[in-house]
Chain A
Amino acid sequence: MLRISPAVWLTLPTLILSILYVTKAIYPNNYGVAATAGATSSMAFLVGFVAATAAWEAARLRRGGIWDAPHTRSRLEITIIAVTPSVLLGAVFLFGTVVAASVYGQAGMPEIRIVAVGFVAICAWSLLGFLAGLRLPMSVSLPSMLLAPFLWFAFVPALPVEWLRHLSGMYRDCCRIGADIAPAALFAGLIMNVTFIVVALYAIGALRMRWSRTAATAVLVAGVMISSAFASNVGPIPEVARDRSALKCSMVGATELCLWPEHDGPTSVFRPTLNAVIVALTREDLPIPSRWSEELAGSSSGDTLSLDLWKSDPDAIRWSIAQGLAPWPACSESPDTSFSGSSIDVLRGWWFTAMGGSEAMLQENLGWLIAEPSAFGVPPIKELYSAVGAASVASRVAWLERLTSSAAECQSPENYSVQ
């Protein structure tokens, strides 16, 4: 059966499609959990092919009179053999995308727990497709099985009920490098998909249970309730803070710098770039936090700069630091505020320039402000940065503190010039 299954013909094109897809995705470099989770987003449009090919196989067995004939093999065996090509198709593209994401993101070992739940989801949709193929005319089962997984994996996560997204087994929103996949989200996805498998096997007739119909209904209700209970405590992003003990910390002058092991390899650019930045800013006597750490902002405290480094590129690292040194103030979240935030962009650009950031990156991030500063109530910023750079240390620090405190209160300064 395997060699003539449509699943076989679809394997190569879907693999190419999925690899192309993941290479366009954005996730933190060098972090296996994020790369693996990002790769599972391809399930939204590829699981439909898995389910549709399983529906195709089931329709063939039904049309060939196989399903209701008296065989020695159990329906479970027949089902497993029939859906194997579809499961293999799904496995090839899931593993393909995960490997591609790991290689493309230089992320090392993929996160096996996420792959395992994704594989269970593929098995579940194969069986749901097989069930549809047995029960519905092919003209209905094929298109509905192409569409249903897309709705489940792409449309449901877009709903305002955010925890629903964790039931599917696809974790595209996970994870910053300071975070790990939330075990509750994994359990939610696993339990929901196992529930799908059990109920589909029962509906197919491949699973005999005592009090079958009642038991299958009970499994469905219990599965939905338990997985929902797990998912509802997770929040919109399925992540939890990583164990801080894994951080690798060292002193750069008076500043402690803590990075996750994935960003601290011998070939990694993160620590050398951060060392150079700390040295440069310290030399300029600029006020910087005494601790720089990649742990999540929520788990850091006091005089700590929380680093969110997602790309293995010195300029991107400098820009991330600038964002951390000039963060959006809490008052900007208020619906009453009229704070435009231009002063924050001015500050970020200045920090970036002070760290030795490139002209090209500055242009890429603040091109709009450089081109038309007056439209945003700021002076020409390159001239401003030159003037601040040429000022005395005390004037420079005073300028920085004035803009920073003004921004912290969601106020735009009337005068940007250095005194």
Chain B
Amino acid sequence: MRGLQFREVSFGYKRNNQGELVVLQRLTWHVPIGVTALLGINGAGKSTLLSLGATALMPRSGKVSLNELDSRDQQTQFRARVAWMPQQYRAVPGLTVREQVAYSGWLKGMSRDDAWRGASEALARVALQDLADQPASELSGGQQRRVGLASALVHDAEVLLLDEPTSGLDPEQRAMFRELLVRIGADRTVVVSTHDTGEITTAYQHVVVLHAGNIAFDGALQDFSAHAPAGSERPIESAFLALISGEK
């Protein structure tokens, strides 16, 4: 089966002398093409799920695959097709914005020339071309997140896993990000994690809600909105609250 898939995936964090904190339990999810919002309360396992999808973490059991490529056995090919923007994005001290993005491309297997070209295009996509020669570590928090986004875009991956990419962005930048989502999500898989239901707009085609170590909802945005009580002023938030509290 094509696309990114999680099959019976379990994962937990070891805690000193306190056993394991189980975060995901036998989770199965076929990530659709298009833009998916990954919702969940703090600690629901959104970042863990995206880290597993990016192979930054490996599942305790189960499999993660992309187009039949196993994340463990064919890691290099798998990683080349997946881009990941972690929640805590950190710039390498001393690198300019362009160097930072180009270096990310090189790390993903691009040639030096392709990485430089790709960096310019990615910076243009996130409207950072004017700051390309500034030291990345001297930018504001919001600008650094855009550098992180450009770093995820640079190698033109099939799957983009973006962990809370809009935190720290101002309203104008958020609007720009939504436009970008529409463009990049047209022909690839994009998963955006957030706990802010106000972020969910028509830029997203799918919604997944992660709750208690598993998926509580997986469907189209319209179907998700249908979970909201009738007459709700904020249907996305209401639907989310209804789902995690077990109400219809």
Give residues in A with beta carbon < 8 Å to B: 1, 4, 60-61, 63-66, 68-73, 78
Smallest CB–CB gap between A137 and chain B, Å? 14
Bound together, the chains give a CA A34 to CA B76 distance in angstroms of: 49
Q: In whole angstroms, what is the CA distance A78 to B109 when docked?
A: 11
Give min CB distance, A208 to chain B, whole Å: 12
**Complex contacts, A60 vs chain B, CB 8 Å:** 92-94
In the assembled complex, the Cα of A248 lies from the Cα of B92 at a distance in Å of: 62
Tell me whether A72 and B93 are in contact (CB under 8 A): no
A64 touches B91 (CB 8 A): yes
Flag B88-112 by CB within 8 Å of A: 1 or 0 each. Answer: 1111111100011001001111000
Residue in B82, B86, B95, B109 whose CB lies within 8 Å of A65: B86
Which residue of the partner chain, among A63, A70, A71, A73, contacts B92 with CB atoms under 8 Å?
A: A63
- What bracket does the count of chain B residues touching chain A fall in? 20 to 34
Determine the distance from Cα of A61 to Cα of B93 in the docked complex, in whole angstroms. Answer: 8
Contacts of B54 in A (CB 8 A): 70
Q: How far is the CA of A249 from the CA of B106 in the complex (A)?
A: 62
* Given known A-B contacts A1-B103, A78-B107, A69 and B95 have beta carbons under 8 A apart: no
B residues at A contact (CB < 8 Å): 54-56, 76, 79-80, 82, 84, 86, 88-95, 99-100, 103, 106-109
Dominant SS among interface residues on chain A: loop
A72 to B109: give the CA distance in the assembly, Å: 6
Provide the bound-state CA to CA distance between A4 and B137, in Å. 14
Closest to A71 in B: B107
- A65 CA to B56 CA in the complex, in Å? 12
- Within the complex, the shortest CB–CB distance from B194 to chain A, in Å, comes to 21
Interchain CA distance A61-B92 in the complex, whole Å: 6
14 further A-B pairs in the complex, CB-CB below 8 A; given A4-B95, A66-B103, A70-B82: A1-B95, A1-B99, A60-B92, A64-B91, A64-B92, A64-B93, A65-B88, A66-B92, A69-B84, A69-B86, A72-B107, A73-B106, A73-B108, A73-B109
CB distance from B162 to the nearest CB of A (A): 14
Some 26 contacts from A to B, beta carbons below 8 A apart, are: A1-B95, A1-B99, A4-B94, A4-B95, A4-B99, A60-B92, A63-B92, A64-B90, A64-B91, A64-B100, A65-B88, A65-B89, A66-B92, A69-B84, A69-B86, A69-B107, A70-B54, A70-B79, A70-B82, A71-B79, A72-B79, A72-B108, A73-B107, A73-B108, A73-B109, A78-B107
